[in-house]
Amino acid sequence: MIIILFGEDTFRIRQKLQLIKQKFSKKDIQGLNWISFDAEEKTSFDAIKGAIETVPFLTKKKTVALKNFFTRGRESVQKSLVDYFKKPFPEHVNLIVVEEFDEEDRKKLKKGNKKKIWQKLLSFADQQEDFTPLSPLALKNWIKSEVKKKGGSVEEDALSALVAYCGNDLWQIYQEINKLANYLKKDKRIFTVTKRTVDLLVQAKLNDRIFQTIDAVANKNISLALSCLQENLAVGLDPHYVLSMLIYQFRNLLKAKTLMLEGKNYYEIEKNLRLPFFVIRKTMNQARMFSLRQLKIIYGKLLSLDLSFKTSKINPSLALDLFVASIII
């Protein structure tokens, strides 16, 4: 059997994968018949083929999971795999192909050789599921369901606030729900999430406008940088939140740049920063646009601005504008 799980919603992909693993592990208590390969580890086709064809240990079935071989793996391995899948597949193997990607990857899968390989792969699937980002209504229903699992309910304005802070990032939303439940539940079996609690405990997500702001800064486009900055404030984000997100991302840029200069590869940087792969990709691309010295200077200015926010009566919105202008001009 070949199962393919793919899409941008990495949280629900991992959730589904965990359910499958739990189902298969009932007859494989020691986990000896679950083998995983990640494209980042540069695994050869022969190693994957060997794992598939080796008979399971003390059970009738084994599972081989392949992660991101068709979006970030070598093309030679991709071609070898789809050619191999044309043949009758061993009955003792459940093969799970997991492809976690962003919009850019999805576009690439619709062009040239990648499209041909991807379509061939899908044609071999006994089961396949495309995990696209949840719609606004589906996202709110998902949050209600997760809160209910923990014995609580969520007020409508709290629901809207949580989505505003976290966007469609299910990883962060899930963590925030746990945080809210732990804070509110205490000795109670039933709890209600209110907007006041969300405002108190939830950290705003690093959103695309922050990446766009930093891109504009790197390209010395002051009008675009200021426009992106003001868009963050226009949707209701507090200037202190915006500053914290800028500090957070420039800290990541500084770490990534240092690791890149040390010769670390993508996989090593991902492991060090512990961020989703698409965030790592954006962060590395942005780090290439600055020198290490520039990043240190900007990060120092951000820390000084943070101190000013806390110790003086400056206008936060104006201060952010002046900061952006100062690092571009």
DSSP output for 176-233: HHHHHHHHHHTT-S-EEE-HHHHHHHPPPP--HHHHHHHHHHHTT-HHHHHHHHHHHH
Q: Say whether both 191 and 227 belong to one domain.
A: no
Q: Say whether both 6 and 123 belong to one domain.
A: yes
In this structure, are residues 193 and 153 in contact, taking their beta carbons and an 8 Å threshold?
A: yes
Read off the tokens for 256. Answer: 């990534």
Give residue 196's pLDDT band: very low, low, confident or very high (50, 70, 90). Answer: confident
CATH number of the domain enclosing 156: 1.10.8.60
* Structure confidence at residue 48 (pLDDT): 94
Q: In the predicted model, what is the mean pLDDT of residues 2-17?
A: 93
Read off the tokens for 31. Answer: 């986990």
pLDDT over 70 (residue 186): yes
What is the tens place of the pLDDT at every residue in 52-61?
998 888 878 8
pLDDT over 80 (residue 135): yes
Helix (H) or strand (E) holding 299: helix 292-311
Q: Say whether both 241 and 312 belong to one domain.
A: yes
Buried b (16+ CB within 10 A) or exposed e, 170-194: bebbbebbeebbeebeeeeeebebb
* Structure confidence at residue 235 (pLDDT): 63
pLDDT over 70 (residue 279): yes
pTM exceeding the 0.95 threshold for the entire prediction: no
* Structure confidence at residue 88 (pLDDT): 83
* Structure confidence at residue 145 (pLDDT): 95
CATH number of the domain enclosing 298: 1.20.272.10
pLDDT over 90 (residue 86): no
Q: Say whether both 158 and 270 belong to one domain.
A: no
Helix (H) or strand (E) holding 19: helix 10-25
pLDDT higher at 237 or 206: 237
Q: Say whether both 6 and 97 belong to one domain.
A: yes
Among 154, 185, 201, which residue terminates a domain?
201
pLDDT over 60 (residue 206): no
Q: Say whether both 99 and 212 belong to one domain.
A: no
Give residue 207's pLDDT band: very low, low, confident or very high (50, 70, 90). Answer: low
Q: Which domain holds residue 271?
A: 208-328
Q: In the predicted model, what is the mean pLDDT of residues 191-216?
A: 79
User: In the chain, how many domains are there?
Assistant: 3
Give residue 29's pLDDT band: very low, low, confident or very high (50, 70, 90). Answer: low
* Structure confidence at residue 166 (pLDDT): 80
Q: Say whether both 6 and 126 belong to one domain.
A: yes
Query: For residue 277, how many other CB atoms are within 10 A of its CB?
Result: 19
Integer Cα distance of 2 and 85 in angstroms: 9
* Structure confidence at residue 281 (pLDDT): 84
Nearest to 136 by CA among 90, 180, 167: 167
Percent of the chain with pLDDT over 90: 37
Read off the tokens for 11. Answer: 């949280």
Among 87, 105, 130, which residue terminates a domain?
130
Among 201, 229, 252, which residue terminates a domain?
201
Q: Say whether both 214 and 176 belong to one domain.
A: no
Q: Say whether both 294 and 315 belong to one domain.
A: yes
CATH number of the domain enclosing 40: 3.40.50.300
Q: In the predicted model, what is the mean pLDDT of residues 127-156?
A: 93
Q: Say whether both 177 and 286 belong to one domain.
A: no
* Structure confidence at residue 294 (pLDDT): 92
Q: Say whether both 222 and 315 belong to one domain.
A: yes
Q: Say whether both 11 and 79 belong to one domain.
A: yes
Nearest to 283 by CA among 303, 255, 245: 255
Integer Cα distance of 116 and 311 in angstroms: 59
Integer Cα distance of 269 and 262 in angstroms: 11
pLDDT over 90 (residue 87): no
| Mean pLDDT computed over every residue of the chain | 87
pLDDT higher at 217 or 206: 217
